Amino acid sequence: MSELPLVDQPHRFPVLAEEHRFTGAKWSVWSETVDIDGHVVVRDVLRHPGAVAVAAVDDEGRLLLIRQYRHPIGAFLWEIPAGLLDQPDEDPLVCAQRELLEEAGVTAEHWAPLLTLALSPGGTTERITIFQATGLHLDPEARPHTGEAEERELPQRWATLPEAVQRCLDGSISNATAVAAILALRAGRG
């Protein structure tokens, strides 16, 4: 048995047919008939524009968390600021900077990529790029929480890294993007 390299590798099996099923406000669903080494199967795929998130860490080493209602799972979740790529070729860094300002009223001097995740690769094309932001400043001109519905109010909390890690491990924080970012920071990745 040969040992495969421990790295994700792009590959596309032939798509024999595709049928558009639904278009929503931000994404669409397609049924694709795929030939996987002679096995013809139909897979439903949620096509997603992609997203960004921001692990904003202050000078004291605390992480900015926001609390947002998530209707599909019926819960208020502690998350890091995040948002969809709004334009087809939008620069993820520009989007991350906008989301941090819009959701938290914060700007940052330093930005670095932290992780890129495929959040649910069995059903969606969504990938999210997480940036670490440091050198934070509250923007006195910003009016965070001016969205509608779920984004109308986004309470904030600064958490120490040990506290955030513990909340991930005990299940108190379950947002996959936040968990991945927190554990990457704990691993010294940022």
Q: What does the pLDDT average to over 60-72? A: 94
Q: Residue 9 pLDDT more than 60?
A: yes
As assigned by CATH, the class of the 51-186 domain is: alpha beta
Residues classed as catalytic: 151
pLDDT band for position 89 (50/70/90)? Answer: confident
Rounded CA-CA distance 120/123 in Å is 6
In the three-class reduction of DSSP (H, G, I as helix; E, B as strand; rest coil), residue 162 is classed as helix
Please report, for the chain, the start and end positions of each structural domain, with discontinuous segments joined by +: 15-47, 51-186
Q: What does the pLDDT average to over 177-183? A: 98
pLDDT digits (tens, 9 = 90+) for 113-154: 999 999 999 999 999 999 999 999 988 776 655 565 555 578
How confident is the model at residue 147, as a pLDDT?
A: 60
What's the mean pLDDT when you consider all of the chain?
92
Report angle CA 116, 183, 107 to the nearest 5 degrees.
65
Q: What does the pLDDT average to over 33-41? A: 96
Kind of pairing between the strands at 15-23 and 28-36: antiparallel
Query: Can you give the pTM of this predicted structure?
Result: 0.89
Rounded CA-CA distance 95/99 in Å is 6
How confident is the model at residue 6, as a pLDDT?
A: 87
pLDDT band for position 25 (50/70/90)? Answer: confident
Q: What does the pLDDT average to over 27-34? A: 95
Phi, psi for residue 175 in degrees, rounded to 5: -60, 120
Q: Residue 158 pLDDT more than 90?
A: yes
